[in-house]
Structure 1
Amino acid sequence: MAEPTNLNRFRKQQAREKKRAQADENAVKFGRTKAEKQRDKAEAERATRSIDGHKRDA
């Protein structure tokens, strides 16, 4: 005879796999190193200073 399948265990295993896949996708999408974050912040500050430096006085 075939082994009975626990449907609750099967359902929970599928949910875990789905969460793990979503977490991996988010890590690729949003995960950045500290150096990358600092570089982007420095570039934004440099751009802001450049734009402010080119403004005309009223």
Structure 2
Amino acid sequence: MIEKYSLANEPGKTMFVFPALAGKVYGHIVKNRTAKDPAKLVFETPKYDNVEALKADYPEAEE
């Protein structure tokens, strides 16, 4: 895993960024765990050329 961050437009969800082949990256959007439910994979993004391009489509939450 390269990076992990909370999503700005989707509260309660976290992006996990992973390396892919040929220098590309992709992400898994995961619904955060709660007291009653475990974390769940919601979506896998397409592959991007770099982390900045991924963050342009899936922005990081301001903390």
The one of the two structures with greater contact order (alpha-carbon pairs below 8 A, sep at least 6) is: 2
Larger Rg: 1
Bigger fraction of residues in strand: 2
